[in-house]
A and B are shown apart, each in its own frame.
Chain A
Amino acid sequence: MASDLLSIAKSGARTARIALDVTAQNIANASSEGYVRRSVQMEEVAAAGGYGRIGDISLSGVRVDRVVRNADLFRQAEVRRTGADSARINAEVAGLENIETAVEQTGVFQSIVDFEASLQRLAADPVDPSLRASVMEEARTMTRTLNIASTSLDAVGNGLRFEAASDVEQVNLLGGELARVNLRLARAADASSDQTQLLDRRDLLLQQLSEHVDVSASINADHTVEVRIGGTAGPQLVSGGDSYPFAMATAGDGTISFTLDGAAVTPLSGSLVGRGQALEKLVQIGDDLDTIAADLIATVNGAQATGAALDGSAGQPMLSGTGAADIALAFNDGAGIATAPAGSPAGSRDPGNLDALRSALTASDPAGAMDALLFDISGTVAGRSLTRDAIDTIAGTARIALQAQAGVDLDEEAVNLIRFQQAFQASGRVMQVASDLFDTLLGIR
Chain B
Amino acid sequence: MTIFSTSTSAFYERSRQDMAVLRKRAEATQEQLSRGERLSRSSQDPVAASRLRTLGRAERLTTIDMGNANRASSDLTLADAALSSFSDFIIRARELAVQAGSDTMSDAQRAGIGEELRQIHQNLVGLANARDSAGHALFGGIVSGDAYEFDGAGNAVYIGTASAGELSLGEGQSIVRGVTGPEFVEFDDAGTPTNIMAVVKTLADALGGGSPDPAQSARDALGSLTNALDSVTTTQTVVGSRLAWIDLTVERQTDLGELRKTEEAEIGGTDIAGTVVQLQEIMLVLEASQASFSRLSGMSLFNSLR
Contact = CB atoms under 8 A, between A and B. Distances in A.
Contact of A407 (B8, B46, B145, B165): B8
A31 B7 CA distance: 10
A263 interface: no
B57 interface: yes
A120 B67 CA distance: 10
Given A125-B134, A349-B143, A407 B57 contact: no
Given A123-B68, A403-B7, A408-B8, A117 B61 contact: yes
B38 to A, nearest CB: 14
Interface string A334-368: 00000000000111111100000000000000010
A410 B43 contact: no
A353 to B, nearest CB: 13
A400 interface: yes
Interface string B113-147: 00000000000000000000010100000111100
B2 A418 contact: no
B302 A414 contact: yes
Nearest to B67: A121
A374 B2 contact: no
A384 to B, nearest CB: 9
Interface string A1-41: 00000000000000000000000000000110000010000
A1 B72 CA distance: 124
Interface residues of A, number: 54
Contacts of A345: 144
B45 A407 contact: no
B49 A378 contact: yes
B17 to A, nearest CB: 5
A385 interface: yes
Interface string A88-123: 000000000100110010000110011011001101
A382 interface: yes
A396 interface: yes
Contacts of A409: 2-4, 6-8
Interface string B34-61: 0000000111111101100110110011
Interface in A224-258: none
Q: Is the interface of B mostly helix, strand, loop or mixed?
A: helix
A104 B49 CA distance: 11
A404 B50 contact: no
B294 interface: no
B142 A400 contact: no
Interface in B148-185: 161, 165, 167-168
A382 B305 contact: no
B10 A403 contact: yes
A30 B46 contact: no
A140 interface: no
Contacts of B168: 120, 123
Contacts of A351: 142, 165
Contacts of B144: 127, 345-349
B41 A101 contact: yes
A113 B43 CA distance: 21
Contact of A400 (B13, B61, B71): B13
A381 interface: yes
A277 to B, nearest CB: 16
Q: Which interface residue of B14, B161, B300 has the most chain A CB atoms within 10 A?
A: B14
B42 A378 contact: yes
Interface of B: 1-10, 12-14, 17, 41-47, 49-50, 53-54, 56-57, 60-61, 63-65, 67-68, 71-72, 134, 136, 142-145, 161, 165, 167-168, 300-302, 305
> 7 closest pairs, A vs B, by CB?
A407-B7, A378-B42, A381-B43, A347-B144, A403-B10, A414-B301, A349-B142
25 contacts: A31-B8, A97-B41, A100-B43, A113-B56, A121-B64, A124-B71, A125-B134, A127-B136, A128-B134, A348-B142, A348-B144, A349-B136, A350-B165, A351-B142, A371-B54, A374-B50, A374-B53, A382-B43, A396-B17, A400-B14, A405-B7, A408-B9, A410-B300, A412-B1, A412-B2
